[in-house]
Amino acid sequence: MDTQESPPAASYPLAELCVLADLPPRTVRYYVQIGLVDRPQGETRAARYGTKHLEQLLLIKKWTAAGLSLDRIRELLHGAPAPVPPRAPSVGSVSVRSHLMVADGIEVVIDPGAAGLSPEQVRQFTRAVMAAFAQIQGEGATHTKQEDKQDGQTQ
C-alpha cells in the first residue's frame, strides 16, 4: 500500500518570517501583542511561525498600505462586516457641508457628519490645512528666491 505523506507544514523563526513579510521583528511582535497576528508555537527564541502567520502579516501590510488603521484591520480580521456604502442623496434631502476657501482655486469641502468629525475636530483640520498651505507658499517663495540668485550668478 502506497501512502503519500503530506509535506511538512512551513515553520519559520521570527527572523525568517520578517524577511518573507518584509517587516521588522519589532512590528511583528507588536502585531502579535495586540492580537492582529496569532501567537506563534513556542516562546521567545524557540517561537515558530507558520504559513498562516505569514498570510496574516501580508494582509495587514496590504491594508496598512491602503491607509486602514490597525483598529479597522482588527475589525476586518475578526469578521466585522465591510462598511455599508453611503446611500445616494434622495430628492429633497438636506446635507450640511463646510466650504473652506484656502486660496483662489483651492477649496476644501467638509461633510462633518459623514466624516464623523466634531466641531472642534473640524476647526483643528481647518487650522492644519491653512498652516500646511502657508508652509507650502513659504517654501515656494524661498525656492524662487534661490533660483533668482543662481540665475544672476550664472549670467
The Cβ of residue 60 has, within 10 Å, a number of other Cβ atoms equal to 23
Query: Which residues, in sequence order, are CB contacts of 22 under 8 Å at separation 6+?
Result: 61
Distance CA 26, CA 15 (A): 11
Looking at residue 59, its pLDDT comes to 92
Helix (H, G, I), strand (E, B) or coil at 108: strand
Q: What is the pLDDT along the chain (155 residues), one digit of tens a residue?
A: 555 555 567 889 999 999 999 999 999 999 999 999 999 998 877 889 999 999 999 999 999 988 888 988 888 888 766 556 666 778 887 777 889 999 999 999 998 887 888 889 999 999 999 999 999 998 866 665 555 566 555 55
Q: What is the CA radius of gyration of the chain?
A: 26
Distance CA 31, CA 25 (A): 10
Cell of 110: 467638509
* CATH number for the domain formed by residue range(s) 14-77: 1.10.1660.10
Looking at residue 81, its pLDDT comes to 64
Distance CA 40, CA 65 (A): 24
- Write out the residue limits of the CATH 1.10.1660.10 domain(s) in the chain: 14-77
Residue with cell 513579510: 21
